[in-house]
């Protein structure tokens, strides 16, 4: 399962920048999401 599928299944809005594998994410691992539940994934 890819990151986009997992995040969207949890009701989290995802913005993708680029193509390929996840290189960077807007939240730190383990960080609590804000009420907006939006994550930006930068791809390589």
The band of 1, judged by pLDDT with boundaries at 50, 70 and 90, is: low
Structure tokens at 31: 């960080």
Residues 4-42: pLDDT tens digits?
A: 999 999 899 999 999 999 999 999 988 888 877 899 999
pLDDT of 2 over the 90 cut: no
**What is the pTM assigned to this prediction?**
0.79
Determine the length of the chain: 44
Please state the domain count of the chain.
1
Residues 17 and 42: beta-carbon distance below 8 Å: yes
Domain that holds residue 20: 3-43
3-state SS assignment for residue 21:
coil
Maximum Cα interatomic distance, the chain, rounded to a whole number of Å = 28
SS percent in the chain: helix, strand, coil, step 5: 15, 35, 50
Instruction: Supply the pLDDT for residue 3.
Output: 86
């Amino acid at each position: 399962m890819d990151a986009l599928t997992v995040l969207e299944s949890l009701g989290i809005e995802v913005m993708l920048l680029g193509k390929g594998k996840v290189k960077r994410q807007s939240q730190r691992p383990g960080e609590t999401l804000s009420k907006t539940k939006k994550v930006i994934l930068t791809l390589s």
